[in-house]
Amino acid sequence: MLAITCPGQGSQTPGFLAPWLELPGVSDRLHWLSAVAGMDLEAHGTTSDEETIKDTAVAQPLIVASGLLSLLALFEHPADGFRVVGAGAGHSVGEITAAAAAGVISAEQAMVLVRERGRSMATAATTTPTGMSAVLGGDPDEVASVLESHGLTPANVNGAGQVVAAGTLEQLAALADNPPAKTRVMPLKVAGAFHTEHMAPAVDDLARLSRAVSVHDARVPLVSNVDGEVIHSGREALRRIVSQVRNPVRWDLCMETMRDLGVTGIIEIPPAGTLTGLAKRGLKGVEVLALKSPEDLDAAHRMVREHGSAREASQPTWRLVTAPVKGTVAITASTPGTAVPAGDVVARISSLRDTREVLADHAGTVVEWLVEDGDPVSPGQPLLRLHPEGSIA
């Protein structure tokens, strides 16, 4: 199974977009995305210096635009990708890239959302001097305890021995002076404490904006930063993109889900490298590729052929209720012909970690269960077939 991963803020470097603009049509497409974003993304991706592209309001639109452009080079038509990609995931702002790539929102909607996300987060970061530091190594429980003692939030739990702490500059200074045993603390070049309560004003801004956004259900299963769950509902994907601005990123759980799904190959789109490094350490045996420039496209196309799973792209995923996590299923709506309202709990899945409710994303009638009560299930596995609104014909 092939997964596409989309990086987040901090992955950008000066000039990283320049090689992509040599491909036919890419410059014109970027010009269009720049018009939507209201900034010169071509300049920011080619000639702007490190300090300029570190600005949250610039970095986030630049990262999303670069990812969308590279996907058009990897898959000439979106339907080509829908047929072979088994899962998509984005780290932080990369979730907007992933949502657009999966057909939940359009490229233009993605650029408006990320423009406002970047502006709102940059504004929220000016209220109180805050920042982030990477904590590398150490015992996970001890790291969590020390962060809590300093009043810091584990804003990114990335797996592979990496946690990003976020909070006030004073709290981060205290962490640097008294770090957890056997760790290295590295201050990050970011403008604020992202994915914490310091970003609450940005969530309010995005929530209002999102109410006017029309969505479609995902054409490719999306693995959510919130908890590693597999998401199909477009409305739920958008809700999580908004709320995630002040919630921790659980990339460790995303990698666990990709392992459970049976992912054998991962392509990270530009600006690539960070997530590939995490996958090399956290997903042993999975082939990974950082798609950094057009020179990597031949290798990427080979991976698509070898790891992609051909499936019917037009199959309406909204007719199926799928497992969001790995565990044992307990069925609650079992009788064929039963009407199920949208949002109803149809099953619960229990694992060693917790129990999750499985909701019907759309109203419909139970046609058949594809699993039995007590069966072990995997993330993304179809559980229930629903006939949309009304009774079975």
What residues act catalytically? 92, 195
Determine contact, residues 388/364, Cβ cutoff 8 Å: yes
Cβ–Cβ < 8 Å for 320, 230:
no
Using the 8-state DSSP alphabet, how is residue 289 labeled? Answer: E
What is the signed CA dihedral for 239, 241, 245, 248, rounded to 10 degrees?
Answer: 100
Q: How far apart are CA 199 and CA 111, in angstroms?
A: 20
DSSP designation for 38: T
Short-list 186, 377, 139, 162, CA closest to 282: 162
CA angle 278, 279, 284 (to 5 degrees): 125
The C-alpha atoms of residue 60 and residue 94 are separated, in whole angstroms, by 9
- Cβ proximity of 66 and 128 under 8 Å: no
Terminal C-alpha separation, the chain: 35
Give the integer Cα–Cα distance in Å for 35 and 31. 6
What interhelical angle do 56-74 and 297-307 show, nearest 10? 70
Strand order in the sheet with 345-350: 355-359, 345-350, 327-331, 376-377
